[in-house]
Amino acid sequence: MADDLNSVKTDSRTYHHGALREALLDAAEAVIAERGVDGFSLREVARRAGVSPSAPAHHFRDSRGLLTALATVAFRQFGDALEAADVGATRMDCIRSQGLAYVRFALTERAKFDLMWRYSLTDSNDADYREAGRRAFLILDRRMRGEQSSRFADEPAAAPSLACWSMVHGFARLALDGAFGSGPEAAERAAELLLPAVLKHLDV
């Protein structure tokens, strides 16, 4: 595996692919982006990667394995997006900015976002997968906790974070699932128009 990365691009047909794992993840991403998560098939992914149907098994035991790996990648990108959005003059600004980024990610990476939460398709015991999900939540959670102590002393510590997470998650899902009209455009328009107003009703 000490492959020169350039050679991967250049020598076109060797018996050993050289970067098949990544190629399969890319292909899988393309497939679900085009056909939706339910349209995923291992054979189709292999086909796109130009490889026999049994090749993926060497890198990801089975189809669930591949999807779990892809969901993990997706959660990492998602976490990165939240982290990048954690900016603003005040704590509340940061929170709102993260909320917008949350929904934007869901709407631009529809299929990946779907997959991240389709736990019937992934191995929810996979350590990397769990860790990637946990990290994403903690980015928001850390900002929510901030310096300030909760005004709601009698409640579980995670409640404010969870309230925020629930609201943006719910909004994103409703948008994706066509509650604001079907098609990506309708969802994006709704998000632009409504989400800022909706976030005003979050009290944390």
Partner DNA sequence: TGTACATCAGTGAACGCGCGTTCACTGATGTAC
DSSP assignments along 71-112, one per residue: HHHHHHHHHHHHHHH---SSHHHHHHHHHHHHHHHHHHSHHH
Q: Which is nearer to its own copies, 33 or 51 (CB)?
A: 33
d(CA 77, CA 59): 21
Among 165, 184, 185, 187, binds its own copies (CB under 8 A): 165
Provide the token pair at 185. Answer: 């455009």
The 28-57 site mask, x for binding its own copies (CB under 8 A), equals --------x-x-------------------
Among 165, 194, 164, 190, residue whose Cα is nearest residue 176: 190
With CB under 5 to 8 Å by kind, the binding choice for 127 among its own copies, DNA, none is: none
Task: Examine residue 12 and tell whether it contacts its own copies (CB under 8 A).
Answer: no
Task: Examine residue 171 and tell whether it contacts its own copies (CB under 8 A).
Answer: yes
Task: Examine residue 40 and tell whether it contacts DNA (CB under 7 A).
Answer: yes
Q: Which is nearer to its own copies, 70 or 164 (CB)?
A: 164
Task: Examine residue 146 and tell whether it contacts DNA (CB under 7 A).
Answer: no
Task: Examine residue 30 and tell whether it contacts DNA (CB under 7 A).
Answer: no
Provide the token pair at 155. Answer: 């409640």
Provide the token pair at 63. Answer: 């189809």
Among 48, 104, 173, 189, binds its own copies (CB under 8 A): 173
d(CA 87, CA 84): 7
| Cβ count near 14 (within 10 Å) | 9
With CB under 5 to 8 Å by kind, the binding choice for 63 among DNA, its own copies, none is: DNA
DSSP letter, residue 156: -
Task: Examine residue 178 and tell whether it contacts its own copies (CB under 8 A).
Answer: yes
Task: Examine residue 149 and tell whether it contacts its own copies (CB under 8 A).
Answer: no
Task: Examine residue 100 and tell whether it contacts DNA (CB under 7 A).
Answer: no
